[in-house]
């Protein structure tokens, strides 16, 4: 009887957490279909008009392009660096290995506002004024820890005897790396790239200190728009971002399986 009660209690807690996490997102999506020029829940009339308004807003469109190329550029730069760092940590037997791993993962732990302010001060000290370059540097720091983390998770599942067997059979380090190790950890690398891209595209805390009037990301454009207007076009563009994140995550799960990917770390 006790086991049954505990089972039902656990299910209730899990469903309560799902509702707590998803209810705000569902409300935003519902509000985006409101016909009225003000946000109201539930909508008194339904329409797609605000999706058209959002897509015609030049600030949103330009911000989306900036967010996309910054996230893509940061992902392409951070991925090889992160993979090399993960391989170095995996093969290292140094006593400083835990400290180095914590250092590489630090951008996840440190609040984004602190990271943004630190980057602003550091880049100002070297007289770096180009907003695109500053954004790219900042977003590399956002993506890098996720690439390292997911690659380490995949490396942890590799049987060390595979590497030893390849070396015993005469394979060079380069052959072992490119023909055995990297193919096995490819799911982890791709997962880190996709997670990093999504978080970079949606970032506010770091970008807030690195943008300028001509180079602004989509989340910052939405925040600026909310200062002067509160129509459902904000909910519409937010719904599109939610849909993009959901589709990418679903594809990741279908291709690689998140449970299988992180089972060993």
Task: List beta partners, residue 46.
Answer: 34
Q: pLDDT tens, 7-38?
A: 677 788 888 888 888 888 888 888 888 877 77
Mean pLDDT of the chain: 81
Name all contacts of 61-66 with Cβ < 8 Å and 24+ positions apart.
Answer: 62/216, 62/221, 63/216, 63/217, 63/218, 63/219, 63/220, 63/221, 63/222, 64/218, 66/135, 66/215, 66/216, 66/217, 66/218
**Residues 49-69, mean pLDDT to the nearest whole number:** 87
Q: Is the peptide bond before 100 cis (omega within 30 degrees of 0)?
A: no
Q: Considering the entire predicted model, what is its pTM?
A: 0.80
pLDDT at 1 over 60: no
Categorize the per-residue pLDDT at 2 as very low, low, confident or very high, splitting at 50, 70 and 90: low
**Residues 193-209, mean pLDDT to the nearest whole number:** 87
**Range from 88-102, 104-118, 212-226, 243-257 carrying the lowest mean pLDDT:** 243-257
What was the pLDDT predicted at 58? 86
Residue 63: closest CA among 261, 233, 187, 246: 233
CA angle 11, 150, 119 (to 5 degrees): 110
């Amino acid at each position: 009887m006790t086991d049954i009660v505990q089972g039902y209690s656990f299910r209730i807690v899990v469903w309560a957490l799902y509702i707590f996490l998803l209810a705000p997102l569902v409300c935003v999506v519902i509000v985006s279909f409101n016909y009225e020029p003000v946000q109201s829940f539930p909508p008194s009339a339904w329409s797609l008009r605000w999706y058209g308004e959002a897509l015609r807003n030049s600030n949103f469109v330009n911000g989306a392009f900036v967010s996309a190329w910054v996230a893509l550029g940061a992902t392409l730069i951070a991925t090889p660096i992160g993979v090399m760092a993960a391989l170095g940590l995996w093969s290292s037997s140094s006593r400083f290995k835990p400290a180095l791993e914590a250092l590489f993962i630090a951008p996840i732990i440190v609040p984004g506002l602190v990271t943004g302010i630190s980057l602003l001060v550091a880049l100002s000290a070297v007289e770096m004024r180009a907003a695109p370059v500053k954004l790219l540097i900042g977003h590399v720091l956002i993506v890098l820890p996720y690439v390292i983390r997911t690659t380490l998770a995949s490396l942890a599942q590799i049987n060390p005897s595979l590497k030893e067997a390849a070396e015993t059979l005469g394979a060079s380090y380069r052959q072992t790396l490119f023909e055995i190790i990297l193919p096995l950890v490819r799911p982890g690398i791709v997962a880190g790239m996709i997670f990093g891209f999504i978080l970079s595209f949606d970032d506010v805390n770091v970008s807030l200190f690195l943008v300028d009037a001509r180079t602004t990301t989509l989340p910052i454009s939405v925040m600026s728009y909310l200062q002067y207007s509160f129509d459902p076009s904000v909910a519409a563009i937010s719904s599109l971002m939610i849909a993009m994140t959901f589709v990418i995550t679903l594809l990741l799960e279908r291709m690689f399986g998140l449970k299988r990917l992180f089972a060993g770390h």
